Copies of this chain bind each other. A is one copy, B any other.
């Protein structure tokens, strides 16, 4: 990842950060390493991000947007889905995506887990986005509720075990799919009934 053009951009820096984390792992990646990958002085990076924390947060935000939110937005928009089934498809996708990246992109998933742990703001924005999608699906799907947003948030929290990174080690269990089905069966009734 050498910078090709002559002006260094945030995008290039974030791309180099991802590459370096994939190569060395989260714990061993320094701003200096990222600068080396770009063949610039580390001072240049501080022109674009005011701290290491901010750089890693930006990288995580982009990773979440691209790998999680974008595919979820597709499911949200999907007009072939409707009502409770739409909510199910959405949460199922969320759960599968988290599980997929926990396995297949371990280093960046570790970045996401660590940053989540340290930046309440970022994670609350991420959750806000998902709750927004769910609220939208519920309203469009004719799932009447006095407080659609609260119901949406409840669905998210009731399935936390299956998408919160603190539970990632439990996702290796062969029973995990059956457990999700059983939790879903419970929730589904609550969505069908007007709460």
A binding-site residues for B, Cβ under 8 Å: 147, 150-151, 153-155, 157-161, 164, 166-167, 178-179, 182-183, 185-193, 195
Contacts and interface: CB of A to CB of B under 8 A. Distances in A.
The 4 closest A-B pairs by CB, nearest first: A186-B190, A166-B166, A154-B182, A189-B190
Identical subunits present: 2
A179 B153 contact: yes
Contact of A186 (B158, B167, B185): B158
7 contacts: A150-B182, A157-B179, A157-B182, A160-B167, A166-B167, A188-B190, A189-B192
A123 to B, nearest CB: 10
A49 B77 CA distance: 59
A159 B151 CA distance: 15
Contacts of A164: 161, 166-167
Contacts of A191: 186
A166 B167 CA distance: 8
Given A188-B190, A189-B192, A192-B189, A182 B153 contact: yes
A186 B195 contact: yes
A126 B52 CA distance: 41
A77 B121 CA distance: 43
A166 to B, nearest CB: 4
